[in-house]
Amino acid sequence: MPTVMTPSAAVAAHRCKHCGGILLHADLRHRPVSFMDAALAHHLRRACCTPLLPAPPPTTASPTSTSPAAAPAADGAARWLDFEPPLAALLRAQQVEAALALLARGEGTHGLSLDAPLCGGATLLHLAARTDSVPLVDATYSAAAATRGSQDCVHRNTPGGRTPLHEAAAHGARQAAAALIARGGEALALALDWEGCTPAELARRHGDRALGGVLAEAAARAAGGASGGGGEAGEGEGEGEGALSEEELKVESQWRRAELKSRRRLALKIEGRESLRAAHILRQIWTVAECKWVLEQTLDAAAMEGWQACLSCPASLLHVSLRPPFASTASLPQAKRHENHSTFDIALWRAPAAFEFARTSLVSTIIPAMSRVFDIPLEKLVLREAFVIRYSPQTQASLGVHRDGTLLSCNILLNQPSDFEGGGTCFSWPIEVHASDGQTWRERGEWCTTADYEGSSGASGGGSGDKTHWAVHGRQGDCVIHCGQIPHGAGTVTKGVRFVLVAFVDELVMAEETPHERRSALRSRASSAVSTPADDAPPEWLLAPSAAEPPEEAASIPGASARRCISFGALDLPTVVAPERKLRYRDVSIKRLPQAPS
Ligand SMILES: O=C(O)CCC(=O)C(=O)O
Ligand SMILES: [Fe+2]
């Protein structure tokens, strides 16, 4: 069991509510766990200093809207990156000893229900299952079962349909898998995730054939007991098909990678999806007071971190734990600016309270609205990231036409339209814009489809034929939602500053074939293939479909491939640093938008 943070440990940040100090896992690398524990205790005891973070905003919101006051109650303790409690951060970093110590003390969760979904939808039990520590699985299980008063927690799925046993299998955590089965029974081995994979399947895919065999046997026994033989998991897992050879496993994993890639491409295709062609404005999603508060929080974070702050930037590591309280944020070191960035923004998780508020609002209101207007089942929509952009003539004045890396996007104007000139979310062709006022969608739950296109500021001169972009100008607190695959950008701000909060939302697409069907197809294709592929090269027929396609831009960007893969299947996002802004786009700066007409 490691006693120090390894370089591969998740980089996570923690901002103390009392002193505003930031404690990064990065700072704790190569230090003993006891150091982290001491750091935590120091802050949890409020030994650090006086409060720096401002109080929540005045609440003038309508009763049904989310407001910071409605956000999970502050518990006087620390909040971690993505609002996961310290216990989750420790589990993600495989810090078993420290996690057990926190659990034993009843600390580390800070009021969060032990089976509440964390970032990406996993629960603490999912995370504990990965560690392969039986005491940790048992402790987490007991705590979670006590919260729910039932054994439901072992069945709980992440959005990708993975149970804790799937997680254990995918991480080769044999002891944890056994502990989970002991608690929840062998029927757990029958569960299928959204890819149609049983835990046994995942174990084999991740190279643990022994665990795969054990789980397949458990599944076969459970299927036999449940249905008199041959349940779903029995197929392909039981005796009939036999275990895969090394070569078959290799081919299958190559196939899966190619399939994930093409599925992702497919998921971003919008041909024939009429509902995605219109943009929508949710009027007054946030009140003026809420917008001001979110902006203040963001500016506060930006004053400490700098815009475009990035954890790989050495300057951001200067904010270490156990630092004495600072009197003024002005004295803090600024994160170094990255040159050649196309945007000027800050990841919202750097302003934790604002992020918590925005995430609640996104999940409870905006994403359901997206589901309705774009006709996509709610359970398929996942929030990928949120950040605030600052546009001004002196820094970044506009954003070139691009497609986002996700299917859906939204943006909320945080300051007043009178604070700047120009701006607006611009589209390359005229699109229908539907607006709904707060009352309509809040109280009647209806989507009003009144066309309310607020303006089409085109290129200067000429008639409508000369227009080169069509701008939607929201008011402060309005949320513009649209398909991120429609070419769009941000109009030039010619005066003042425009602040928008942007969030990206993905639609999850399930595999059409079950692994069993896939394997049968692979085998029949392989047996009919004329030539034998070279040892280390995937068979030609396997690569042919994707090789014909142009390489995806993201593939050449460090860090981007991980993001691409997590769109499907394993949905529990690791606690990753928000990538640099330019990684968010598929087509970066196809062209700049023209200046707004004077
Ligand atoms: O600023 C805007 O209105 C649009 C921003 C945008 O498209 C993006 O950040 O991807
Ligand atoms: Fe965009």
pLDDT tens readout for residues 322-364: 222 222 222 222 333 233 334 578 877 667 778 778 888 888 8
Q: Whose CA is nearest to atom 7 of ligand 1?
A: 489
Q: Cα torsion at 196, 200, 206, 210 (round to 10°)?
A: -160
Per the document, the length of the chain is 598
Count of CB atoms situated within 10 Å of the CB of 27: 21
The pLDDT value given to residue 347: 75
- Taking the C-alpha atoms of residue 163 and residue 425, their distance in angstroms, rounded to an integer, is 40
d(CA 45, CA 37): 12
Rounded mean pLDDT of 148-164?
Answer: 62
**Average of per-residue pLDDT across 487-510:** 88
Beta-sheet pairing, 279-282 with 433-436: parallel
135 has pLDDT over 70? yes
Per the model's pLDDT, the better-predicted residue between 226 and 348 turns out to be 348
Q: Which atom of ligand 1 is nearest to the CA of 391?
A: 1
Ligand 1, atom 9, residue with closest C-alpha:
502
Residue 457 CA to ligand 1 centre (angstroms): 17
User: In Å, how far from its chain's centre is CA 297?
Assistant: 21
- Ligand 1 contacts (CB < 6 A) are 389, 399, 404, 409, 411, 425, 488, 490, 500, 502
The pair of structure tokens assigned to 81 is: 């990156």
pLDDT of 401 reads: 80
Q: How confident is the model at residue 244 (pLDDT cuts 50, 70, 90)?
A: low
Nearest to 564 by CA among 258, 296, 331: 258
Average pLDDT over every residue of 358-386: 84
Q: 500 alpha carbon to ligand 1 midpoint, in Å?
A: 8
What's the CA gap between 152 and 136, in Å, rounded?
A: 18
Tokens for 26, please give them. Answer: 């990065």
| 8-state DSSP, 366 | I
What ligand 1 atom has the least distance to the C-alpha of 425? 3
Tokens of 514: 């079950």
Q: How large is the average pLDDT for residues 231-238?
A: 39
Question: Comparing 376 with 506, which gets the higher pLDDT?
Answer: 376
Question: Which residue has the least CA distance to atom 8 on ligand 1?
Answer: 502
Tell which residue, 146, 33, 144, has the closest CA to residue 99: 33
| Phi, psi (deg, nearest 5) at residue 95 | -90, 80
Angle at 194 between CA 189 and CA 199, to 5 degrees: 25
CA of 310 to the centre of ligand 1 (A): 20
pLDDT of 428? 75
- The token duo for 159 is 């959005």
Q: Counting Cβ atoms within 10 Å, is residue 327 exposed (0-12), middle (13-18) or buried (19+)? A: exposed
Predicted pLDDT of residue 192: 77
Average pLDDT over residues 203-209: 86
Residue 499 has pLDDT above 90, yes or no: yes
Q: From ligand 1's centre to the CA of 439, what distance in Å?
A: 26
Structure-model confidence comparison of residues 268 and 440, the more confident one: 268
| Rounded Cα gap, residues 64 and 57, in angstroms | 16
Q: Distance between alpha carbon 108 and the CA centroid of its chain, in Å? A: 22
Query: What pTM, to 2 d.p., does this model score?
Result: 0.54
Query: Could you tell me which residues come within 8 angstroms of residue 170 by beta carbon, excluding any fewer than 6 positions away?
Result: 130, 162, 202, 203, 205, 206, 570
Closest CA to 376 of 286, 505, 479: 505
Query: How far is Cα 454 from Cα 432, in angstroms, rounded to an integer?
Result: 10
Determine the Cα–Cα distance for residues 245 and 248; give it in Å rounded to an integer. Answer: 5
Ligand nearest, relative to CA of residue 485: 2
Task: Return the pLDDT at 115.
Answer: 63
| Higher per-residue confidence, 403 vs 152 | 403
Among 401, 406, 415, 425, say which to mutate for ligand 1: greatest number of ligand atoms within 8 Å of CB: 425
CA–centroid distance, 576 to ligand 2, in Å, is 21
φ and ψ at 281, to 5 degrees?
A: -120, 120
Query: How large is the average pLDDT for residues 513-540?
Result: 52
Over residues 85-118, the pLDDT tens digits come to: 667 777 877 778 878 877 777 665 555 566 666 6
Q: Is the pLDDT of residue 19 over 60?
A: no
Please state the rounded mean pLDDT for residues 203-222: 89
Place of tokens 């902006």: 295
- The distance from CA 546 to its chain's CA centroid, rounded to whole angstroms, is 26
Residue 566 has pLDDT above 50, yes or no: no
Here the tokens at position 146 are: 């006590």
Q: Which ligand does the CA of 492 lie closest to? A: 1
Is beta strand 425-427 parallel, antiparallel or unpaired with respect to 420-422?
unpaired
Eight-state DSSP code of residue 404: B
The residue contributing the CA closest to ligand 1 atom 10 is 404
Higher pLDDT, 305 or 34: 305
Q: Give the residue with greater pLDDT, 32 vs 548.
A: 32
Phi-psi label, residue 196: left if phi above 0, alpha if psi -120 to 50, beta otherwise: left
The per-residue pLDDT for 329 is 28
What's the CA-to-centroid distance between 161 and ligand 2, angstroms?
A: 29
List, in sequence order, every beta strand (DSSP E) within 416-547. Answer: 420-422, 425-427, 433-436, 450-451, 470-472, 479-483, 488-490, 493-496, 498-507
In the predicted model, what is the mean pLDDT of the chain? 64
Is there a contact between 404 and 586 (Cβ–Cβ < 8 Å)? yes
Other C-beta atoms lying within 10 Å of the C-beta of residue 454? 16
pLDDT for 474: 86
pLDDT given for residue 374 in this prediction:
92
Share of the chain above pLDDT 90, in %: 15
Distance 403 CA to ligand 2 centre (A): 6
Which two structure tokens, joined as six digits, stand for 103?
A: 């659990």
Gap between the Cα atoms of 589 and 567, Å rounded:
24
What ranges make up the beta strands (E) of 408-487? 408-413, 420-422, 425-427, 433-436, 450-451, 470-472, 479-483
